[in-house]
Chain A
């Protein structure tokens, strides 16, 4: 009897030890019980003073397709290109249109005639609103990586991250000039592009703005390719741009102020015409904790910020707060 009791006690003890060791093993494996003495922590930069947040999110909706690439506005419709598709949505998120693209897309813009321009890896195509091919340009070569387009009248500006250059073209794809090659006489520092993010836009006076991501600056050019002005500051603080290459994306509001979007620690911000920080559209805390990619941004006629969140595969719409007229 005694022996039986001892055996039972021993078995219970053995089971308890197995459970404790097992729990400890699983706990450690999941990283629950171990602190990382070498943790890389940027939490303090993720937090933003709520008074600096001047926008709020009004609606978001899913893009039901793989590999979203770019966003643009066409009248009352939101245009999204994925690698393979041209998609259109209304502001409730209802999908209105879906058509396969003639080439693999990387970026999109819509001109004042509602012609849809799509940057493909090495070239540019244009489509009508029904997705029918209107133009297909010659390739810019195997090294080219087209990341952004802007169209103003007969002028098309093409950002090529692979060749680190902006092409000024006519609408048939003929290169009229190259912008951004290092040229001390013209005050042009040359583009530093560590990763395939290289965005551009045209302001309401027709002047070209280009991100120089490795210098954390936005550069403004005269038609002859000389530098008019530039602004920007590298910093983890909210006023600056983080990482090796930011802002990764940007868009211009009607008053020529800037909406910028950063990668690494995604955040969308608002700067005035001279590049002074005005406030935050979406703080890092509004993105998923492990988010890395910079949302593409577009501005609609009501000056809302329409963001394409690549990580969530969502279109997210931000409106200025009533008291956000900083």
Chain B
């Protein structure tokens, strides 16, 4: 199918995705500045590898900051924009709606917005997010794994001995260069998919 023949909905989805990706890149890019300012003499900061994270909940409970410096970020390129979102909805919700009893997030930090049938967009309200990874677990188990955690460098104090890193059961934390402080996930269309190939998360 040529691009000319592409249904408008697909074009719009792609437009939204690229727009959101750009927004994420700009916001994280801006925050990279913070990490450079706060970085140690060797210019290293803490970051977690989302492919190692097993969603143990300690990013919410162990950080010296309250709420945690770890937040959920959304790789829009990976997201299916699904109505039945495993990261947004509780398992087997009463309805696919924004009603509080159907939401998985304990702080209602994920905003669900209708785009067009049957697509919905999910945006994280970082002020509300406590980095608990519940949505990450739901999205990783039943979706494409587009929701994932990252240490946000506008909040992280770059502790010498990160309290979460010490207890992370997955050894997901590592020191990374302050000028490239994020480890953001990418999409299956980029990495190539295919049956049986797709990995959890």
Contacts and interface: CB of A to CB of B under 8 A. Distances in A.
B65 interface: no
B56 A40 contact: no
A265 B142 contact: yes
Interface string A152-188: 0000000001111100000000000010011000000
Interface residues of B, number: 45
Given A242-B142, A243-B84, A292-B141, A36 B91 contact: no
A308 B196 CA distance: 10
Interface string B32-65: 0000000000000000000000011110110000
Contacts of A219: none
B35 to A, nearest CB: 26
Interface of B is mostly: loop
B58 A214 contact: no
A297 to B, nearest CB: 12
A216 interface: yes
Interface in A20-70: 28-31, 34, 36-40, 42, 45, 67-70
Contact of B143 (A106, A244, A308): A244
B181 interface: no
Contacts, number: 131
B82 A214 contact: yes
Given A182-B9, A195-B80, A214-B80, A264 B86 contact: yes
Given A106-B195, A145-B194, A244-B82, A196 B188 contact: yes
A265 B137 CA distance: 13
Chain A CB within 10 Å — which of B60, B142, B192 has the most?
B142
Given A45-B91, A67-B197, A162-B189, A195 B144 contact: yes
A287 interface: no
5 contacts: A37-B57, A121-B194, A141-B1, A164-B10, A265-B141
